[in-house]
Amino acid sequence: MRLRGQVCLVTGASSGIGRALAQRFAHEGADLILTARRRHLLEEVAREIQHSRPEGRLLVLPADLRRPEDIDSLARESLAAFGRVDIVINNAGIGYFAPATELALEPVEELWQVNVRAPMLLTRALLPSMIERRSGTLLYVASLAGKYGVKEGSVYAATKFALRGFAWSVFQEVRQHNIRVIVLCPGSTATPFGGGVGSGSRSERILQPEDVADIALAAVLLPPTATVSELELRPTNP
Ligand X SMILES: NC(=O)c1ccc[n+]([C@@H]2O[C@H](COP(=O)([O-])OP(=O)(O)OC[C@H]3O[C@@H](n4cnc5c(N)ncnc54)[C@H](OP(=O)(O)O)[C@@H]3O)[C@@H](O)[C@H]2O)c1
Query: Which positions touch ligand X (CB under 6 A)?
Result: 12, 14-18, 36-38, 41, 63-66, 91-95, 114, 141, 143, 186, 188-189, 191-193, 197-198
Burial of 169 (0-12, 13-18, 19+ CB in 10 A): exposed
- Dihedrals φ, ψ of 19, to 5°? -65, -45
The residue among 176 and 236 lying less far from ligand X, judged by its C-beta, is: 236
Identify whether the C-beta of residue 179 lies closer than 8 Å to the C-beta of residue 195.
no
Q: Return d(Cα 76, Cα 91) in angstroms, integer.
A: 19
Would you please indicate which residues are annotated as catalytic (active-site) residues? Answer: 156
Q: Which residues pair with 70 in a beta bridge?
A: none
Would you put residue 31 in left (φ > 0), alpha (ψ -120 to 50) or beta? Answer: beta
Q: Which residue is nearest to ligand X (CB)?
A: 93
Instruction: Provide the angle, in degrees to the nearest 10, between the axes of the packed helices 105-112 and 154-174.
Output: 20
Shortest Å, Cβ 121 to ligand X: 12
CB of 165 to ligand X, least distance (A): 15
Rounded to a whole number of angstroms, the CA Rg of the chain reads 17
Best CA proximity match to 140, nearest among 1, 9, 3, 6:
9
Q: To the nearest whole angstrom, how small is the minimum distance from the Cβ of residue 132 to ligand X?
A: 27
Q: Where are the alpha helices (DSSP H) in 83-208?
A: 105-112, 118-133, 145-148, 154-174, 193-196
Closer Cβ to ligand X, 17 or 138, answer by number: 17
Residue 171 CB, nearest approach to ligand X (Å): 19
What does the buried/exposed string (b/e) look like for 8-43 if buried means 16 or more CB atoms within 10 Å of the residue's CB? bbbbbbbbbbbbbbbbbbbbbebbbbbbbbeeebbe
